[in-house]
Amino acid sequence: MLKAFSIKTSRRVEFINITGHLKKTLAESRTAAGTMTIFVPHTTAGVTINENADPDVVSDMIGHINKSVPFNDNYAHGEGNSAAHIKSTLFGPSLTIIIDQGELLLGTWQGVYFCEFDGPRMREFYVKIVEG
């Protein structure tokens, strides 16, 4: 099963919780065991798993990544979004999550986030479920 999602981001750097989309897709698939892969086909966005109980964690991550990879740092790339490319590479374009007994094997506090680094934009991500 392959499903495409469109997502509208509203800030230059933003983490959007997509866990609900993934759980709904898994329920629709009726897959009891296997893997789910989430793929972001953009060079200035990514995906990550982290805590979803306290919104301060996301705020702290955004603050730290923006400090670690500043927007303006004498980059050579003429388009002006080198920081977004670097952030995307650090986070990565895909994740794989194990499915067991019809559930994603996420930890109690874990959620899946679409990571925007060059917004706001219309974006896409894909979800592929493989039974097994």
Domain span including residue 13: 2-131
**Percent of the chain with pLDDT strictly greater than 90:** 94
Instruction: State the pTM of this model.
Output: 0.95
**33 pairs with which residues across the strands?**
100
Q: Taking 90 as the threshold, does the pLDDT of residue 80 lie above it?
A: no
The CA-atom distances, in angstroms, between 69 and each of 47, 58, 85, 110 are: 17, 16, 10, 25
93/38 Cα distance (integer angstroms): 8
pLDDT of residue 78: 85
What's the number of domains the chain is made of?
Answer: 1
* Collapsed DSSP state (helix, strand, coil) of residue 64: helix
CATH number of the domain that 12 lies in?
A: 2.60.120.460
6/54 Cα distance (integer angstroms): 25
Q: Give tens-digit pLDDT for 42-77.
A: 999 999 999 999 999 999 999 999 999 999 999 999
